[in-house]
């Protein structure tokens, strides 16, 4: 008895939402950048080509995942997140018009309410993504972060999510939250209330997402594939969306 063939995925419906990791990758001002070094690169004594390199990176930089333990003691680390948690229906809330007028904009409960008025209540288990339009500024660090000075945390200016919105998302029992800026808390945050509220509830985060304008507001499936770091508080991640 033969099994039915798997339904192939249309390659045209698969979108990469990941910024490339290289020398221009943006990290928090207190971190070193992405480091990549060729070790062997060329023709060997045997006459064939061989290439090998090494890299070093902070967990939180470039397109990456925050595991709940990043801001919640005792919660899941990267390796403890199940593959089921890393796949889910995408909800895209577009706040780019407001962010274009205010780099410190906080995505509000009103923004969520407007989305739900148009599309219905956010389904439980969704991966909610806030599109600020900031990925168009990548990799210009000054425009993206508000500052390009090493260590200048006080100079950070980019949009984030309002703490009141975190409470709404908790009520919706979402699986994860993401944004196309450097942090789910805006640049001027000093207490990281959104991180604390969501991660304390076991929700993970996605930051520095690329090209969210290519993902529809509903109907796409997100697949999140972080490096499986044992005990990791975060990890570089390859995010793809499968369009409806």
Q: How far is CA 6 from CA 9, 22, 135, 182, 196, in A?
A: 9, 36, 35, 38, 41
For residue 88, what is the enclosing H or E element?
strand 87-94
* Residue closest to 107 by CA, chosen among 186, 144, 162: 162
C-alpha distances out from residue 82 to 56, 223, 231, Å: 25, 12, 14
Q: Are 237 and 64 in contact (CB under 8 A)?
A: yes
CB 130 within 8 A of CB 180: yes
Active site annotation includes 70: yes
Catalytic pick from 60, 70, 119, 157? Answer: 70
Q: Give catalytic residues, as residue numbers.
A: 70
């Amino acid at each position: 008895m033969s099994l039915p063939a798997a339904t192939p995925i249309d390659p045209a419906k698969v979108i990469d939402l990941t910024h490339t990791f290289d020398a221009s990758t943006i990290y928090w001002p207190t971190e070193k950048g992405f480091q990549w070094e060729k070790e062997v690169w060329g023709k060997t004594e045997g006459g064939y080509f061989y290439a090998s390199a090494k890299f070093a990176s902070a967990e939180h930089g470039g397109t990456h995942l925050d595991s709940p333990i990043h801001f919640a003691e005792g919660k899941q680390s990267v390796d403890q997140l199940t593959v089921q948690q890393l796949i889910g229906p995408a909800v895209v809330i577009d706040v780019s018009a407001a962010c274009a007028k205010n780099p410190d904009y906080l995505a509000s409960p009103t923004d969520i309410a407007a989305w739900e008025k148009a599309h219905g209540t956010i389904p439980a288990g969704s991966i909610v993504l806030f599109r600020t339009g900031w990925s168009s500024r990548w990799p210009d660090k000054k425009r993206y972060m508000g500052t390009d000075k090493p260590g200048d945390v006080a100079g950070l200016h980019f949009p984030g999510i309002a703490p009141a919105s975190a409470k709404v998302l908790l009520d919706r029992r979402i699986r994860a939250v993401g944004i196309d800026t450097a942090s789910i808390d805006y640049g001027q945050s000093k207490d990281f209330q959104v991180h604390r509220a969501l991660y304390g509830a076991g929700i993970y985060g996605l930051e520095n997402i690329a090209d969210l304008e290519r993902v529809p507001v509903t109907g796409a499936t997100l697949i999140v594939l972080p490096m499986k770091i044992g005990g990791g508080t975060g990890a570089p991640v390859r995010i793809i969306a499968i369009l409806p």
